[in-house]
Amino acid sequence: MPDTRLDGQLRDARNRLLADIDQPDMSTVRLRAGVLRRRRTATRVGGLAMAVLVAAGVVSLRPWNRADHPGPEVAATPSPTSGPVWMDSALGLTINGMTQSPVYPPGEITDVEFLDADRGFALVADCQVTQCQQLTVASTADGGLTWALYLPPTPLPAGRKAVPELLAFGPDELVLTYPEPYYSADGGNRWLPARPSPPQPVALIPQGAQLRVRPAASGGCAGGVVEVWVFEYGHRGDLAVQPPIDPCWTNGTPAADGAFWVGGTDRRTGAPALAVTRDRGKTWQVPALAGSAAGAPAGSWAQVSTLGAYAYAVVVGPDGHLGSIYRSVDQGGRFTRTRDGGAPMTPPSTLSGEVVPMLDGRLLVAGTDGRWYISDDDGATFQKSRIGPRQEMPLVGRLVRTRAGYVALDLFTAGWAAYSSDGATWRKLHLN
Amino acid sequence: MDALGDLYHACYRRLVAQLYAFTTDVSEAQDVVQEAFARALARPKGLSDVDNPEAWLRTVAINVVRRRWRRRKLLDAILLRDRPTVQLTAPPPEPERADLRDALTRIPQQYREVIVLHYLADLPVDEVAELLGVPAGTVKSRLHRGRQALAGILGGYGAAESQAEEVSHA
């Protein structure tokens, strides 16, 4: 006797499956085809280049120069089974390359968000001198090995070289911030204008929401406003209870303990300051940063990086000036200065991006000189990474925090990016 | 419209449904089918030299799935220490569609493939057999056992079972 209930369920499942299938425009597939063609061309060029190099006995291969070498396979060792590895064994830093050719969406990687070690998104912007022509949203479900490419319809304003931010709210929930917010509920495949929502003060940061700072017209921290962003609606409104400092930086997504941090300057003294809320924006605490203005040029602000109960506050100034560093062992309740910005300091003198607290207790930073720096004394002193052509660490553009782990951008000054969940071992994203 | 464009509009959903048998994820099935079409577009001659373009696209998409799976296994082994302690997962399926989709992911792969290809992707038994490279009798046997496995997971179906031969679907 046939199992009619099961047959009915199978029929329902079939109908729902077909209804769930979203067929994107053929232009999306044509874009991918163009990427494949470029990849094949790059591989052919790479193979030819390798043959020429071997024949000539040339040893001065420069993998960081993209103009000479379009993809990692050119710089890779000839092994067919393992990718290139760049490392500084003295500092314990490693970047694992991959053997497969990357995909090449047009433009540069401007934003990367990882939700866990597998699921991540990248925004690639194709910008000319004065204007960005095309955005591509890339999505990976395997830690950056393979990527699906999508073309969001976001119109870019003419005559302005401005790139939106890509906010990831969940495994498939994305928002593009600029010029008018768009959202995608399927990982970037289909984009819709954000639902209209009259801006109104937000008394309680909703679950899953993110914070952004709307900078003042002056460009400094004074006059900045903390905004609340949510999926589907984009900018939901300004936070009703603003932090009691002038804000110009926020961690955006909550730290592991649920805290939202905002960095900026003290409204009265102008000294770099922090504020934190642990009750979703109802109240704010301002931890003391003793001597934060010491050696800090005008316009400096504070920002924070957290790992478990540890919080590291750093004073950052214009042009990436790196001032004092503070450490807290109680989730930011009380900070102790570990590096005095007013005293003669060891390099780095600048910071590009954010401080990465590593699992072994060390701090990793990138300087604006492109070097990686490691501190094993909470920022008092740093060791500088070696760089070079023989699989040592590449130059790095900046280090940024994502929802899970960190991303190193503009590696080799060639637009490459790498992801790490612990700050020590990185894997190159197979994108550009 | 070019031939590949026509093929894209005619076959895309059908191919995604078939690839769902191997991915158990609609988004990934869509992605690999798009990848197959992209590879076809990237060929100098398109698919003009291919006798059965739909079968070619299906084979390429299945190969993409298998290669990604092997790489994931390798990546998992190599990068295990990189995993965060908390792994985000997709939100649970909506209640009305949770049971069967969930049950499909819990039955053995060889059963899931034939169930999805036959019942969800509308492929006749002989085409499922050809696609998987197994005899038609094996497909029928797997359909029968797959239904049993599904019924066991879903519950409430008692001993009522249908034979694969009885499936009018084919």
Chain A residue numbers with beta carbons less than 8 Å from the beta carbon of B8 are 26, 29
User: Residue B82 is nearest to which of A3, A36, A425, comparing CB atoms?
Assistant: A425
Q: Which amino acid is at A373?
A: Y
pLDDT tens for B137-164 read 999 999 999 998 888 887 744 333 444 3
CA angle A365, A366, A368 (to 5 degrees): 140
**Burial class of A414 by CB neighbour count within 10 A (0 to 12, 13 to 18, 19+):** buried
Judged by CB atoms closer than 8 Å, whether chains meet at A35 and B38 is answered as yes
pLDDT tens for B106-144 read 888 888 889 988 888 888 898 888 888 888 999 999 999
Would you state the pLDDT for residue A38? 67
pLDDT tens for B63-117 read 888 777 766 655 555 444 333 333 333 333 343 444 787 788 888 888 888 998 8
- Rounded average pLDDT over A357-376: 93
Nearest Cα of chain A lies from the Cα of B50 at a distance, in angstroms, of: 18
Would you state the pLDDT for residue B68? 73
Least CA distance to B39: which residue of chain A? A33
Least CA distance to A170: which residue of chain B? B90
Chain B residue numbers with beta carbons less than 8 Å from the beta carbon of A9 are 99-100, 154
Choose the mutation target among A7, A11, A20 for the interface with B, i.e. most B CBs under 10 Å. Answer: A20
- From B49, B44, B61, select the one nearest B8 (Cα to Cα): B61
User: Residue A26 is nearest to which of B5, B75, B100, comparing CB atoms?
Assistant: B5
Chain A residue numbers with beta carbons less than 8 Å from the beta carbon of B151 are 3, 6
- Taking the C-alpha atoms of residue A52 and residue A35, their distance in angstroms, rounded to an integer, is 25
Residue ranges of B 55-114 with Cβ closer than 8 A to chain A: 68, 71-72, 75, 78-79, 81-84, 86-91, 97, 99-101, 104
- Percent of chain A scoring above 90 in pLDDT: 47
Residue B20 forms contact with A (CB below 8 Å): yes
pTM score > 0.80 for this model?
no
Q: Give the pLDDT band (50/70/90) at residue A248.
A: very high
User: Residue B161 is nearest to which of A3, A28, A40, comparing CB atoms?
Assistant: A3
Would you state the pLDDT for residue A41? 64
Residue A81 forms contact with B (CB below 8 Å): no
Under 8 Å CB-to-CB from B2, ≥6 apart: which residues?
Answer: B46
Nearest Cα of chain A lies from the Cα of B25 at a distance, in angstroms, of: 10
Would you state the pLDDT for residue A292? 94
3-state secondary structure of A279: coil
Residue B6 forms contact with A (CB below 8 Å): no
- Position A137 pLDDT exceeds 90: yes
Chain B residue numbers with beta carbons less than 8 Å from the beta carbon of A172 are 27, 90
Average pLDDT of chain A, as a whole number: 83
- Position A1 pLDDT exceeds 70: no
Which of A33-47, A71-85, A91-105, A387-401 shows the lowest mean pLDDT across its residues?
A71-85
CA distances from B98 to A12, A15, A329, B26, B93 (A): 12, 14, 44, 14, 5
Q: Give the pLDDT band (50/70/90) at residue A220.
A: confident
- Taking the C-alpha atoms of residue A346 and residue A363, their distance in angstroms, rounded to an integer, is 15
User: Residue A6 is nearest to which of B9, B82, B157, comparing CB atoms?
Assistant: B157
Judged by CB atoms closer than 8 Å, whether chains meet at A10 and B35 is answered as no
User: Residue A141 is nearest to which of B28, B39, B101, comparing CB atoms?
Assistant: B28
Chain A residue numbers with beta carbons less than 8 Å from the beta carbon of B122 are 14
Average pLDDT of chain B, as a whole number: 74
- Taking the C-alpha atoms of residue B153 and residue A221, their distance in angstroms, rounded to an integer, is 59
Q: Give the pLDDT band (50/70/90) at residue A157.
A: low
- Taking the C-alpha atoms of residue B14 and residue A17, their distance in angstroms, rounded to an integer, is 10
- Within 10 Å of residue A54's Cβ, how many Cβ atoms? 10
Choose the mutation target among B75, B122, B162 for the interface with A, i.e. most A CBs under 10 Å. Answer: B75
Would you state the pLDDT for residue A329? 93
Would you state the pLDDT for residue A67? 32
Residue A234, CB-side half-sphere exposure with 13 Å CA sphere: 23
User: Residue A28 is nearest to which of B26, B34, B97, comparing CB atoms?
Assistant: B34
3-state secondary structure of A210: strand
- Taking the C-alpha atoms of residue A372 and residue A383, their distance in angstroms, rounded to an integer, is 8
3-state secondary structure of A204: coil
Q: Give the pLDDT band (50/70/90) at residue A64.
A: very low
- Percent of chain B scoring above 70 in pLDDT: 73
| Contact predicate A165/A174, CB 8 Å | no
Nearest Cα of chain B lies from the Cα of A261 at a distance, in angstroms, of: 21
Would you state the pLDDT for residue A166? 94
- Rounded average pLDDT over A313-340: 94
ipTM surpassing 0.85: no
Which of A54-63, A217-226, B39-48 shows the lowest mean pLDDT across its residues?
A54-63
User: Residue A21 is nearest to which of B8, B17, B38, comparing CB atoms?
Assistant: B17
Judged by CB atoms closer than 8 Å, whether chains meet at B30 and A22 is answered as yes
Would you state the pLDDT for residue A284? 97
Judged by CB atoms closer than 8 Å, whether chains meet at A148 and B34 is answered as yes
